[in-house]
């Protein structure tokens, strides 16, 4: 059976996109999803995303990690899905869609997609790191030698270590450039490697840096391996709200497999 797909990337975080409004895709076949994401034997991607119909909002997002398993929220994937929905004619310049962590609002202008993320009311501060959930769990810590740092080796130790254990956490290493700008490199669970960008990770870093007083700004620039993202937010009574992830999302190619 031939499968039509679209390949999108958001600051180097790449995804296989499939229009599943007719419910033709086998969502329980994890091996097939993993094959499609395989960079040698398949299309190659950090994850696979299905766009599906929804009764009350514009569409539904179903997200799989590269290992074939459904996973928690993916910020760059959500932004790419908005661009995909526009290409399909499902939306024009704004959207409301449902993901695993609830409803998301988004706008699109050119190739810039702004995606509203979940509110965050808990930022756990430790001596050497910060932990918070921005739709996906994220460990955040400083690393001044970030350019030469072995992200895969060190990230995997933290990802599987205590207290995260079996469930695991994404791991972000951060270097401060100035009060508004930070360099970020991310090890993603499910991909089990460094990715060129991570949207929920960039969001987590922005909020973490504000929470530990490394910045007082409410618009933070994150330099990732695949480009640049921005995160804006408001803080009210300990609640980070009106959180927006901003960056490019582009079609790479369309094909059949």
Domains contained in the chain, number: 2
Q: Which residues are catalytic?
A: 74, 198
pLDDT digits (tens, 9 = 90+) for 36-80: 999 999 999 999 999 999 999 999 999 999 999 999 999 999 999
Task: Point out which residues pair with 2 in neighbouring strands.
Answer: none
- Taking each helix axis as running N to C, give the angle between helix 75-88 and helix 199-211, from 0 to 180 degrees, rounded to the nearest 10: 130
58 lies in the same domain as 144: no
Q: Tell me: the pLDDT tens digits for 217-241?
A: 999 999 999 999 999 999 999 999 9
Statement to judge: residues 44 and 157 lie in one domain: no
Query: Residue 207: which H helix or E strand, with range?
Result: helix 199-211
Same-domain pairing of 191 and 142:
yes
How many Å apart are CA 11 and CA 77, to the nearest integer?
11
Convert the pLDDT of each residue in 158-199 to its tens digit: 998 888 977 889 999 999 999 999 999 999 998 999 999 999
Statement to judge: residues 108 and 138 lie in one domain: no
Q: Are residues 146 and 237 in the same domain?
A: yes
- Ramachandran assignment for 12, one of left (phi > 0), alpha (psi -120 to 50 degrees), beta (any other): left
The whole-angstrom separation of Cα 155 and Cα 108 is 33
- Claim to verify: residue 231 and residue 132 sit in the same structural domain: yes
Annotated binding-site members = 13, 65, 75-76, 170, 188-189, 199-200
- And the tokens for 135? 């739709």
Q: Do 127 and 113 share a domain, yes or no?
A: no
Burial class (CB in 10 A: 0-12, 13-18, 19+), 250: middle
pTM above 0.85, yes or no: yes
Residues annotated within the binding site for substrate are 13, 65, 75-76, 170, 188-189, 199-200
Q: What residues make up the domain containing 23?
A: 4-117+249-256
pLDDT given for residue 177 in this prediction: 98
The reported pLDDT for the residue numbered 14 is 98
CATH of the domain at 174: 3.10.310.10
Query: Based on the domain organization, do 50 and 146 belong to the same domain?
Result: no
């Amino acid at each position: 059976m031939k499968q039509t797909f679209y390949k999108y990337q958001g600051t180097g975080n790449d995804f296989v996109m499939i229009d599943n409004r007719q419910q033709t895709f086998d969502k329980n076949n994890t091996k097939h999803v993993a094959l499609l994401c395989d960079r040698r034997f398949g299309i190659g991607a950090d994850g696979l995303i299905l766009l599906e119909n929804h009764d009350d909002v514009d569409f539904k997002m179903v997200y799989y990690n590269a290992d074939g398993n459904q996973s928690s929220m993916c910020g760059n994937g959500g932004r790419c899905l908005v661009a995909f929905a526009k290409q399909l004619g499902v939306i024009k310049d704004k959207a409301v869609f449902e993901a695993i962590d609830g409803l998301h609002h988004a706008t699109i202008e050119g190739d810039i997609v702004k995606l509203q993320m979940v509110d965050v009311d808990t930022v756990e501060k430790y001596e050497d790191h910060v932990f918070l959930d921005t739709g996906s769990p994220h460990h955040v810590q400083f690393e001044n030698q970030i350019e030469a740092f072995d992200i895969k080796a060190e990230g995997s130790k933290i990802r599987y270590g205590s207290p995260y254990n079996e469930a695991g956490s994404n791991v972000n290493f951060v270097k401060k450039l100035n009060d508004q700008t930070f360099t970020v490199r991310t090890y993603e669970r499910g991909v089990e490697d460094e990715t060129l960008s991570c949207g929920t990770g960039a969001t987590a870093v922005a909020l973490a840096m504000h929470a530990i007083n490394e910045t007082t700004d409410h618009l933070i620039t994150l330099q990732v391996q695949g480009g640049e993202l921005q995160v804006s937010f408001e803080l009210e009574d300990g609640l980070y709200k009106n959180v927006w992830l901003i960056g490019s999302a582009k079609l790479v190619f369309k094909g059949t497999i």
